[in-house]
Structure 1
Amino acid sequence: MLAQQRQTAILDLIRQRGGVRVSHLVSRFGVSDMTIRRDLEVLAERGLVDKVHGGATLAGPGSAEEPGFAAKSIRQRAEKRAIAERAARMVEPGMAIALSAGTTTAALATLLSDVRGLTVVTNSIPVADALYQNPRADQTVVLTGGIRTPSDALTGPVAEAAISALNVDLLFLGVHGLSPRTGLTTPNLLEAGVNRCLIGAARRLVVLADHTKWEIIGIATIAPLEAADVLITDRGLPAEARAAIGEQVGELVVVEVG
């Protein structure tokens, strides 16, 4: 296979999966680690991919560019489902929990219909909708008011005031990106403010982030990595990233997919 053909195939894989690891590409194409790294360098120079620790992801948007909920919901579906299933095991009857906006938290919401006596606080329209579609008489859903963002989050002073008056056992927080330097980030300034209020209202913070969020940086930092009591991710996260995160969060949980 010619280098250009291989680079095209690599780019197709990254577009399908959102990101790939160098080790996977070495095995798939039967070439050396150095050859794959040169291919990724060529693609990065063309602005088609972003090089990250141990692999590459599809070239990301600007730090203030925010994809819509529908666009994000088709990415890494299997990973998000596995993360949501693991998070659901932390929810017990009678708890008060909060779910931030995000496609992984929306996946979690669909798994909570069997939990008795649950109270769910959320600023996410899709999360509330998922819970309303599977109603239980002994469950309570508190949907904050506020200004709607492209990710279908309710933000602004109305949402912040509603959340600040509440206290919950667990917060399940979806994020746009995470890195050791910038922590947990979002591309939306208003959403960052609401997420900080959610963290302040919760006894424990559980971050839900698939592997493609690593080294993605949004314009606003929500909190440092060490604020997370638990971070649930998938096996696609490189070993060096796991080591870096594991040094800062209370507990790192890596789930299998499929």
Structure 2
Amino acid sequence: MTENSQLLAPQRRALILERVRQYGGVRVNELTREFGVSDMTVRRDLDALAGQGLVDKVHGGAVSAEQTRILEPGFEAKLAWELAAKEAIAAAAADLVRPGAVVALGAGTTTYAVAKALVKVERLTIVTNSIRIAEVFEQVGDHQRTPPTVMLTGGIRTPSDALVGPLADQAIRALHVDILFLGCHGLTAEAGLTSPNLGEAATNRAFVRSAAQVVAVVDHTKWNVVGLSTFATLDELDYLITDREVPESEAAADRVGRVVVAEGSRRVP
């Protein structure tokens, strides 16, 4: 423990706010080391600052409230975040897919991991607005007896390599898919699944309306984070697949059809 661990909560929060203003953002793991306090303590500090409108919580930390609408890390920056959790979630997600299914995959690094887990499933029809995900299936097509059919929606490219906008939304609304996998920027019981990008949120809403089953793939760092726009309520989810570090007491889980904890695919009714 450092001498900073003796700070009172208001003192610690003032220092956190100073760093946010100086650097534009902070990460939870860096603050826990600096102040010698627990992850939960730092998250409570960020909640308090967010409640005052001074910061906005984002994946793994917080940014200045003024920057939230323009800050959006690119695909490569997010690819290595929580990689082990994403791979475990992806393996559990692949268990829900049968050969011959029509599968929709929203853009994002967690759904990208799901795509890589699905490459061994035969005769799939893939619908996606992600350039990266389309490339995954195109590269493995030559190694399957019946390669997947890939439908890329088209649209305007975002920093997350998603194709969004009226063209993408129109293409998606014309389709009927068996199962949809969506990641998110944040998840809460009240806000549901959220994104900081309005275009991505609108396209994800189109996906939800076109799917027979909706599956959210969400690692533990996305829980209790709120983005700018909601694209699905928890009541609309048939499955929520997360990892073993998810908060134990979470009201959000009660509103989902079924929660799957990725480690060992332990199912929680």
> Does TM, scored on the shorter chain, surpass 0.5?
yes
- Unaligned 5+ runs, structure 2: 8-15, 17-25, 265-269
Match of 1:99 in 2: 105
| Alpha-carbon distance in structure 1 between the residues aligned to 2:40 and 2:124 | 52
The answer to whether the Cα contact below 8 Å between 1:41 and 1:51 also exists between their aligned partners in 2 is: no
Post-superposition CA distance 1:3-22 (Å, at most 9, x none): 32799xxx999437xx98xx
**Which residues in structure 2 correspond to 1:44-59 (within 5 Å)?**
44=46, 57-59=60-62
The yes-or-no answer on 1:250 pairing with 2:253 is: no
SS at structure 2 position matched to 1:131: helix
* Identical pairs, percent: 45
Q: Which amino acid aligns with 1:205?
A: V
How many equivalent residue pairs?
Answer: 235
Match of 1:74 in 2: 80
| Alpha-carbon distance in structure 1 between the residues aligned to 2:82 and 2:39 | 24
- Unaligned 5+ runs, structure 1: 30-34
TM-score by length of 1: 0.80
CA RMSD of aligned residues (A): 3.3
Match of 1:229 in 2: 238
Match of 2:171 in 1: 162
Q: After TM superposition, which residue ranges in structure 1, 4 or more long, deviate above 6 angstroms?
A: 49-52
TM-score by length of 2: 0.77
Residues 51 and 59 from structure 1, CA distance in 2 versus in 1: closer, same or farther, beyond 3 angstroms? closer
Match of 1:90 in 2: 96
| Alpha-carbon distance in structure 1 between the residues aligned to 2:39 and 2:115 | 39
Residues 50 and 187 from structure 1, CA distance in 2 versus in 1: closer, same or farther, beyond 3 angstroms? closer
Post-superposition CA distance 1:16-42 (Å, at most 9, x none): 7xx98xxxx9xxx8xxxxx74896389
The answer to whether the Cα contact below 8 Å between 1:50 and 1:57 also exists between their aligned partners in 2 is: no
| Alpha-carbon distance in structure 1 between the residues aligned to 2:169 and 2:27 | 41
State the Cα distance separating 1:108 from its structure 2 match. 1.0
The answer to whether the Cα contact below 8 Å between 1:101 and 1:122 also exists between their aligned partners in 2 is: yes
SS at structure 2 position matched to 1:206: strand
Match of 1:3 in 2: 3
SS at structure 1 position matched to 2:72: coil
**Which residues in structure 2 correspond to 1:1-258 (within 5 Å)?**
1-4=1-4, 14-15=28-29, 36=38, 40=42, 44=46, 57-60=60-63, 62=65, 63-64=68-69, 65-135=71-141, 136=144, 137-241=146-250, 244-256=251-263
